[in-house]
Structure formats: C-alpha cells, structure tokens
Structure 1
Amino acid sequence: MSVRVLLVDDDPLVIAGLRMLLAGDPGVQVVGEAADGSELVDAVVRNRPDVVLLDVRMPGTDGVSALRELCGSVREQPAVVMLTTFGAEPIVLDALRAGAAGFLLKHTPPDQIIAAIHAAAAGESRVSPIVLRQLIDHVARGERPMTEDPLEGLSDRERDVAMAVADGLANAEIGERLYLSVGSVKAHISSALAKLGLDNRVQLAIAAHEARSRGAR
C-alpha cells in the first residue's frame, strides 16, 4: 500500500515542488495540504496520513509547537518529518524531543526525501547529514555528558548495528551490510536503545559518532 503523506508548509511553491517530487514515486500518495501549524491536528484527523512533512518555520503556529499539540491531541499519530531551510541546533533538538521522526533540510536531494518518508512510515528516523553533524558537534561541546565509551555495555553486534545507524543506513541496508535479517536489525537497535537509556535511533547515531570519534571500542 502507498504511504499516505500530508504536506504542511506556508510556501505554495514548496508545496507544489513536494507534490511534483512525490508524484514520481508510486509508493507515496499525497492526501492533503495545510498552510500553517494551527491546521495540523484537523488535517491529520481528516486525512489520516502515515507521514507528515512539516515545515519548522511558519508565520502562524510553528512546526515544533504544532507537533507538540498533535502529540497531545491525537491518539494514533503519524510519523512527522520536519523540513527547514537551515539546521539550527536548538530547533532540531526541540523537534526531536517533541517526537519528530526525522529532520531534513529543504535542499535535501529528492531521493533522500523520498527515502526519509518511507523510513518514517516504517518506524525509522532520518536526519540530514548536515543536521546530524551539528547535533554531534553540539554533544562534543559538552552540552550532554558522555561516558568514556558512549556505547559501553553493547555487544559487538549491537555496536556494529549502531555504527551502521550512524552512517545513515536504513534497516534493510544495515541487514545487507552485516548479513542480518531486518527483524534482527530491529531487535539489535531496540536492545541497544534499552541498554543505553536512549529514546530513538537519532540519539543512537549521535552516541555511535561520538564513540567513533573517540576511537572507543
């Protein structure tokens, strides 16, 4: 079945561009549009999307505030991928804490936007490499305390999977790299998150990048 997508952006040109882009993927169906974050909850209830592409900066209700309202109002929530023209760290962190399933720059290559939509629909998180790099630098400046080895306590296989997550690979791609089934990859990710006390694969990616930069093993 096609992934049902809702577009939320105050710029008609962006909406038109996304519609044209997604029309090229038979596995994606745009089911609705909204021009402001204040319309998000009603649009989700009305269109029942699997994934929402949500602009961060809008003149009325911004994307992060709209996402918080959505999380507090709708029981069966779609995955939300945030879109922005820049990757300011506080906004990214606020969006991820609010429950975003991904964070992409608007100039992200079309194939990566489509891949992020499918990943979000499958329960995975995707963050643009530039944005992820900013988050890693944010951690490196001491904004979040880290242990000597950020992946301490993981098995060798869990560590390998975490490193693959940090490389931006989807579960199927990780399985191909490590000769694992998709189910095994999901199980290793879940186990790693539980052992490290993390909430999502974006946090796991940050920890893995930090471990790699420190040469921890």
Structure 2
Amino acid sequence: MAEKGRCGLLVLHSSPLIRKAILDLFRGDPGVTVLGGCPHPTAVGSLPGRRPDVALVEYEQWQGVRGNLAYWSGTRVILYSRDNTPRSVVDCIRGGAAGFVHESCPPESIVKGLHDVLSGRSFWHLGADEPERA
C-alpha cells in the first residue's frame, strides 16, 4: 500500500526481467511506492493493496487494460513498447494513455516521464533521436 503523499506504481509486462528492471528504477524514490508487477492484466487482482495511481503497461497488454475499465479507473497509464509506428502511438493517444515510452528510452527519462505524468502532464518518448556513439 502506498504511503501518504506517495503515488503507487504498478508495472504490467510479460517479461519478468523488464518488470523487475523498471520496478527497481523506482525503489527508493521518495515520491513513489512500488506496488508490484504482473505479467498480464488478469493478474492484477492478485496484488495486495490498493489500485495504482500510475501503471507502466506493455503495449501488447493495452487491450486487456482497456477491457477492464472498472479496475483501471483513476489510474494514469504509460505504455511501453518496442513498436513506435505512427499507428501504435495514435492508438495510445486515442485510448487515453498518459504517455508512451519506446524501449530505447534511457532509464533516467523513464523516471522523469513518470513524475511528469504524476504531475498531470503527458510524456511521449517515441525513440532515440540518434544512436549512442562509443
């Protein structure tokens, strides 16, 4: 359960490694309580505590989230994806997502983006502008 003044975060992603990595980014963040992660929208009911204030959701899970609006009501959703085609991004916007994160997004930008969303702004990282150079 989130502590007073802190926002609850849920990560919904099919990969255990990605779920853990994203959750670990926020452990110790004074503004975020990590509520947990699960592989599929149907598993959220097994998580203890309250509903999340914000959820980072794998794009492929988006339809499942939209199919259970009663649970997700009041939760701001940021979608995480390997696919940044215009169709995917437009689908997110039309579906009411608060943000979109392409997998090329640096970890510190994900943290900043989540805080932007918690502050009522949107966050859109559509992909790396340029590849990193060694």
- The interval holding the TM-score normalised by the smaller chain is 0.7 to 0.9
Whole-Å separation in 1 of the counterparts to 2:17 and 2:25:
12
1:107 CA displacement: 2.7
Match of 1:13 in 2: 17
Distance 1:95 1:46, change over 3 A: farther
| Count of aligned pairs | 125
Q: Shift in Å at residue 46 of structure 1?
A: 5.3
Deviation (angstroms), 1:47: 3.0
Confirm whether residue 56 of structure 1 aligns to residue 59 of structure 2: yes
The aligned runs of 1:191-202 (5 Å cut-off) are none
Q: Is structure 2 residue 100 aligned with structure 1 residue 108?
A: no
| Distance (whole Å) between structure 1 residues aligned to residue 56 and residue 106 of structure 2 | 15
The alignment's TM-score, normalised by the length of structure 1, stands at 0.51
Task: Answer yes or no: is 1:29 the counterpart of 2:26.
Answer: no
Given that residues 56 and 78 in structure 2 are in contact (C-alpha distance below 8 angstroms), is that contact kept between their aligned partners in structure 1?
yes
Rg comparison, structure with higher value: 1
Label 1:45 to 1:69 Cα distance change in 2 as closer, same or farther (>3 A): farther
Q: 1:45 to 1:9 in 2, by over 3 A?
A: same
> For residues 46 and 66 of structure 1, what CA distance do their matches in structure 2 show?
21
Q: Quick check: 1:32–1:47 contact (8 Å CA) kept in 2? A: no
Given the superposition, is the C-alpha separation of residues 128 and 96 from structure 1 closer, same or farther in structure 2, using an over 3 Å criterion? same
Report sequence identity in percent.
Answer: 26
- 108 and 54 in structure 1: CA distance in 2 versus 1, 3 angstrom threshold: same
Tell me, in whole angstroms, the C-alpha distance in 2 between the residues paired with 1:95 and 1:34.
21
SS in 2 for 1:82: strand
How far does residue 130 in structure 1 lie from its aligned partner after superposition? 3.4
* Paired AA for residue 24 in structure 2: M
Indicate the SS of the match to 2:117: helix
Separation (CA, whole Å) in 2 of partners of 1:7 and 1:122: 19
Q: Tell me how far 1:24 sits from its aligned partner.
A: 4.4
Q: Which of 28, 31, 43 is matched with 1:39 structurally?
A: 43
Note the residue ranges of structure 2 that are not aligned, 5 or more in a row: 130-134
The separation in 2 between residues aligned to 1:43 and 1:100, in whole angstroms, is: 24
RCO greater where, 1 or 2, for CA within 8 Å and sep 6 or more? Answer: 2
What TM-score comes out, normalization by structure 2 length? 0.79
Q: Please give the secondary structure, in 2, of the residue aligned with 1:52.
A: strand
Matches of 2:72 and 2:16, distance apart in 1: 29
